[in-house]
């Protein structure tokens, strides 16, 4: 995966994606909350606008209503003569300039028994008040303004209408029934009606603008459009006819709610300008409905614009951030890349390479300086190691010389005494380290007596080797001078113990074979018991006195013991390097196994015998490192000195 291989790519991905996500969430949330706020705000505004318009219209019309009602009530309290009535009407019109015309229409024959119709009418024209006398040919009884008030006996506003008096005046009439007679005879005497030119109210409402294309409108109780910015709709179109034209049931329902006098703020989908908010409320006493509407899209236009701008800014911000991340990542990874190249070379062993110079104190700087220090340390280490290795090699070569010397000290030519047929002798020593602490020796102390010994110095290595040198020399020297093995060991112990500050010691089995009769005198200083193969009976461990090791303390004494070897008997001496050889599981080779190995072929020559044991020990170790020197010595007594010569056994 490429993003797994580049820090820059990873950083870009993480920063860009997360910041884009943050921007998206922020803008989305902002849009959502703002749209809610806008809706609320605009609902309030629409309400307020509608309320103020309603109030304005209502104030005007309510005043006219009051005057008209007042006139009707006046008619009820007294009977008026024709001149008084006309004066009253004229006065009303003079005092109320907002009223266009006033008529008092009586029920048939109610004003005068001779008159079927009586409906004097005062109205304004060019600032003057004019009067139209009652005309018997004009039947007002069937006029809506008269009949509705007459039949419902309620004061009410008419549907607005165009005045046919030439001018395009949009009029509405307020009608109030008045009563005549008392008690049971009380009945409707006629209707007082005031005409009002509502053009300026309509213009007021029609000119309202909400947002860009929102507007206000008034519909009558029949759903007729009374006020609308589109003049040609007024009194021609009807909310229900529009609904029918577009087969729009939703609009029809809206219209029905409006003419029922309900009030609501609602969304209407099929407005020509797109889905629109509509606030509608009844226009007080008129029963008409005022509606304020504006397209939803306009409400959100600014918000959409703002959100778009914010998105743009967000995008630019993300891009800037990306660029910044790239630059930043480069500034981090460039020295890192140099460092990686350098450390690669370093890893391949090129310590001479110069690391890039870094001036900053940031992590990369620290890392580079650390690498620099590591390089120096490594160089130092390698230098030290080279010196140490040289020193070690010197010691090694010296040890090799020591090994050679030690090897040369031990008898290594077999058979050592080819002219002596009375016995055979063979030995071997394999040191665990370059130099060992084990040793063996054999030599004649006179014409007939052969000394042979095996020894094991405590510890290994150079100190053991040095100690062994001393012990071997002492043993040989003292053997030449003294008689019995016990005396020799006692004497050597005294010498060794005298200056033994390192508390080293050595175990020794020391024997002297008399070739004239096969007698063997021996003494033991803490060494393992040797094995003896008597003719025909095989090997067995010799029971001997243990004796104390040579070296640690003066005053030790040793006892002489004696056995007599018959021709064919074999003495087998060994150090604990044989019996205590360990395999991988730390199991010891053991005395039983040594015995068994020796029993395997008692007739074998001594060299074969020693080789067989050595091979068995190696087999047992099975690759485990040799922990101690392995030393063996075997002596076979062939014949008494001077007897008929027997051919020596092959070594």
Partner 1 sequence: MPTISRKHTARQWSGAWLLALFLGVIGLIFSGSAYADENVLKKASLFPLWSPQAQFAGYYVALDKGLYARHGLEMTIISGGPERSPVESLQKGEADFAVLWLVDALQQRAGGGKLINVAQLVQRSSTMLVARKSSGIRTPADLAGRKVGVWEGVLGIPARIFLNNYHLQVKEIPQSYTVNLFLRGGVEVVSAMWYNEYHTLMLSGLDSDELNVFALHDYGVDLPEDGLYTLAETLRQDPELVAAFVRASLEGWDYAFTHPDEAIDIVLKYMREAKVPANRIHQRWMLARMEELIKHKNSPRSFGRLAQSDYEAVGEVLRKHGLLPVVPPYQVFVGETDAVE
Judged by the rule CB under 8 A, the positions of this chain that interact with partner 1 are 141-144, 147-148, 150-152, 156, 158-159, 162, 164, 221-223, 235-242, 244-245, 252, 255-256, 259
- Provide the greatest CA pair distance for the chain: 203
CB of 116 to partner 1, least distance (A): 14
Which conformational region is residue 102 in: left (phi greater than 0), alpha (psi within -120 to 50 degrees), or beta? beta
What is d(CA 82, CA 88) in angstroms, rounded to the nearest whole number?
A: 10
Whether the Cβ atoms of residue 327 and residue 320 lie closer than 8 Å to each other: no
**Closer CB to partner 1, residue 70 or residue 287?**
287
Would you give the DSSP letter of residue 632?
A: E
> Please, what is the Cα angle at 50 between 44 and 51, to 5 degrees?
85
CB of 204 to partner 1, least distance (A): 23
Q: In what order do the strands lie in the sheet with 630-637?
A: 423-430, 630-637, 570-574, 531-534, 538-541
Whether the Cβ atoms of residue 635 and residue 423 lie closer than 8 Å to each other: yes
C-alpha radius of gyration, the chain, whole number: 69
Cβ neighbours of 575 (radius 10 Å): 27
Whether the Cβ atoms of residue 259 and residue 289 lie closer than 8 Å to each other: yes
CB of 318 to partner 1, least distance (A): 55
CB of 149 to partner 1, least distance (A): 9
CB of 258 to partner 1, least distance (A): 8
**Closer CB to partner 1, residue 242 or residue 297?**
242
Distances from the Cα of 331 to the Cα of 294, 360, 362, 435, angstroms: 56, 11, 11, 62
Find out whether the peptide bond into 415 is cis, omega within 30 degrees of 0: yes
Which of 531, 485, 425 is closest to 493 using CA atoms?
A: 485
User: 461-481 and 485-498 helices cross at what angle (nearest 10)?
Assistant: 130
CB of 151 to partner 1, least distance (A): 3
Residues forming beta bridges with residue 565, ordered by sequence position = none
Strand, helix or coil for residue 122: strand
Residues forming beta bridges with residue 216, ordered by sequence position = 292
CB of 141 to partner 1, least distance (A): 7
CB of 251 to partner 1, least distance (A): 11
CB of 158 to partner 1, least distance (A): 8
**Closer CB to partner 1, residue 156 or residue 298?**
156
């Amino acid at each position: 995966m490429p993003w797994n291989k580049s820090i820059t790519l990873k950083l870009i991905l993480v920063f860009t994606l997360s910041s884009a996500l943050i921007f998206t969430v922020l803008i989305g949330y902002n849009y959502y909350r703002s749209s809610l706020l806008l809706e609320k705000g605009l609902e309030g505004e629409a309400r307020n606008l509608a309320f103020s318009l309603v109030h304005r219209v209502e104030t005007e019309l309510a005043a006219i209503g009051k005057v008209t009602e007042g006139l009707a009530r006046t008619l009820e309290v007294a009977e008026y003569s024709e001149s008084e009535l006309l004066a009253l009407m004229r006065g009303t019109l003079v005092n109320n300039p907002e009223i266009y015309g006033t008529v008092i229409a009586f029920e048939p024959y109610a004003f005068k028994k001779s008159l079927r119709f009586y409906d004097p009418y005062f109205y304004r024209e060019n600032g003057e008040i004019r009067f139209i006398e009652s005309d018997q040919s004009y039947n007002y009884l069937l006029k809506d303004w008269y009949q509705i008030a007459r039949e419902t006996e309620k004061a009410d506003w008419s549907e607005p209408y165009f005045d046919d008096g030439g001018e395009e005046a949009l009029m509405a009439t307020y009608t109030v029934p008045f009563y005549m007679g008392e008690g049971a005879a009380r009945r409707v005497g006629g209707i007082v009606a005031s005409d009002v030119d509502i053009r300026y109210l309509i213009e007021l409402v029609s000119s309202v603008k909400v947002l860009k294309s929102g507007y206000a409108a008034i519909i009558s109780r029949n759903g007729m459009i009374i006020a609308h910015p589109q003049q040609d709709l007024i009194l021609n179109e009807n909310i229900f006819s529009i609904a029918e034209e577009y087969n729009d049931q939703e609009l029809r329902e809206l219209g029905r709610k409006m003419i029922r006098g309900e009030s609501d703020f609602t969304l209407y989908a099929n407005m020509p300008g797109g889905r629109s908010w509509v606030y509608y409320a009844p226009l007080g006493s008129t029963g008409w409905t005022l509606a304020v509407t504006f397209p939803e899209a306009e409400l959100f236009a600014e918000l959409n614009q703002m959100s778009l701008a914010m998105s743009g800014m967000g995008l630019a911000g993300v891009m800037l951030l990306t660029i910044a991340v790239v630059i930043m990542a480069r500034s981090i990874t460039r020295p890192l890349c140099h460092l990686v190249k350098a450390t690669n070379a370093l890893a391949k062993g090129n310590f001479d390479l110069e690391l890039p110079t870094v001036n900053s104190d940031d992590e990369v700087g620290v890392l580079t300086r650390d690498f620099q220090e590591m390089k120096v340390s490594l160089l130092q280490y390698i230098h030290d190691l080279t010196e140490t290795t040289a020193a070690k090699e010197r010691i090694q070569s010296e040890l090799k010389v020591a090994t050679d010397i030690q090897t040369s000290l031990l008898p290594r030519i077999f058979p050592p005494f080819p002219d002596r047929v009375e016995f055979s002798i063979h030995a071997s020593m394999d040191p665990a380290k370059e130099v060992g602490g084990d040793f063996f020796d054999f030599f004649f102390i006179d014409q007939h007596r052969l000394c042979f010994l095996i020894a094991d110095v405590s510890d290994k290595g150079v100190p053991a080797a040095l100690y062994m040198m001393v012990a071997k020399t002492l043993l040989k020297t003292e053997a030449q001078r003294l008689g019995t093995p016990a005396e020799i060991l006692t004497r050597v112990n005294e010498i060794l113990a005298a200056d033994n500050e390192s508390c080293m010691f050595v175990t020794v089995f020391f024997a002297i074979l008399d070739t004239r009769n096969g007698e063997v005198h021996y003494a033991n200083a803490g060494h393992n018991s040797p094995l003896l193969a008597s003719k025909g009976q095989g090997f067995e461990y010799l029971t001997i006195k243990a004796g104390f090791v040579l070296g640690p303390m003066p005053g030790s004494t040793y006892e002489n013991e004696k056995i007599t070897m018959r021709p064919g008997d074999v003495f087998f001496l060994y150090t604990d390097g044989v019996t205590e050889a360990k395999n991988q599981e730390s199991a010891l080779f053991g005395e039983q196994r040594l015995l068994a190995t020796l029993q395997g072929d008692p007739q074998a020559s001594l060299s074969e015998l020693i080789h067989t044991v050595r091979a068995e020990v190696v087999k047992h170790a099975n690759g485990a490192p040799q922990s101690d020197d392995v030393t063996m010595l075997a002596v076979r007594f062939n014949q008494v000195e001077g007897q008929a010569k027997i051919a020596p056994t092959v070594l």
